[in-house]
């Protein structure tokens, strides 16, 4: 068996990736397909942390949240990530994967609190750790949470799994002339205001010398190819 290039990774999933073709919520077939891709990598012995967004859940209440206090809305979004984390945990268990969920918000009746040392111990034991509730603070996105948790657990790379197969010069759905970057530096990504991740996440990863690879989770085998070191999607480097 070939040896993976990365031994410990942080996988960032958008909540929207769980919707499939639905308007909001969780599509069971879609989440099962994502877990199948994750299992290929877990079976290689790669230690994996996961951060997932909550946009697919929050989208269902977006209209009622209009005009809401930003901090209040952000806390609602954090709870949406907990819901997604529980759904992902359930799908992983059905696939035979050992998994734990840790939350930045204290809701111990549902999930255990985030403790860095315990998370690292779980990873060393071969468990996947899902980090829920973002950073636990309003005004910070789950992209920033992924960068933060990736740095805290000593991940070698942050893998941003999206519906798009990399970073483009423009939105490829709107501009057919848009071209994909094979690689791009953090400074250039920030300067060009690329929207694939927020500037805070880019800056944190740059300062920690933690590369980011942006790829499509819906390309069969893409996650495994990234972990093995193949060229896939877009690599954001220091």
List, as residue ranges, the binding site for ATP. Answer: 12-15, 55, 59, 162, 168, 171
Which residues are known binding-site members for UMP? Answer: 54, 74, 135-142
3-state secondary structure the chain: CCCCCCCEEEEEECHHHHCCCCCCCCCHHHHHHHHHHHHHHHCCCCEEEEEECCHHHHHHHHHHHCCCCHHHHHHHHHHHHHHHHHHHHHHHHHCCCCEEEEECCCCCCCCEECCHHHHHHHHHCCCEEEEECCCCCCCCCHHHHHHHHHHHCCCCEEEEEECCCCCECCCCCCCCCCCECCEEEHHHHHHCCCCCCCHHHHHHHHHCCCCEEEEECCCCCHHHHHHHCCCCCEEEEC
Q: Give the C-alpha separation, 212 to 58, whole Å.
A: 26
CA separation for the pair 207, 186 (Å, rounded): 10
Binding-site residues sit at: 12-15, 54-55, 59, 74, 135-142, 162, 168, 171
């Amino acid at each position: 068996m070939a040896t993976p290039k990365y031994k410990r990774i942080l996988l960032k999933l958008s909540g929207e990736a769980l919707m499939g073709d639905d308007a909001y919520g969780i599509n069971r077939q879609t989440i099962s397909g994502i877990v199948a891709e994750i299992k290929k990598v877990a079976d290689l012995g790669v230690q994996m942390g996961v951060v997932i967004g909550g946009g697919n859940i929050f989208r269902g209440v977006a209209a009622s949240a209009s005009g809401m206090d930003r901090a209040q809305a952000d806390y609602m979004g954090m709870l949406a990530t907990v819901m997604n984390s529980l759904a992902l945990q359930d799908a992983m268990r059905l696939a035979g994967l050992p998994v734990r969920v840790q939350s930045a918000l204290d809701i111990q009746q549902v999930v255990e609190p985030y403790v860095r040392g315990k998370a690292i111990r779980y990873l060393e034991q071969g468990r996947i750790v899902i980090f829920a509730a973002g950073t636990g603070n309003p005004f910070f996105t789950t992209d920033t949470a992924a960068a933060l948790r990736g740095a805290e657990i000593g991940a070698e790379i942050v893998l941003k799994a999206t519906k798009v197969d990399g970073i483009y010069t423009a939105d490829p759905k709107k501009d057919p002339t848009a071209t994909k970057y094979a690689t791009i530096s953090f400074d250039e990504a920030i300067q060009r205001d690329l929207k694939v991740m927020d500037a805070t996440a880019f800056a944190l990863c740059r300062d920690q010398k933690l590369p980011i690879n942006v790829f499509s989770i819906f390309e069969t085998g893409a996650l495994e190819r990234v972990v093995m070191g193949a060229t896939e999607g877009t690599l954001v480097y220091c």
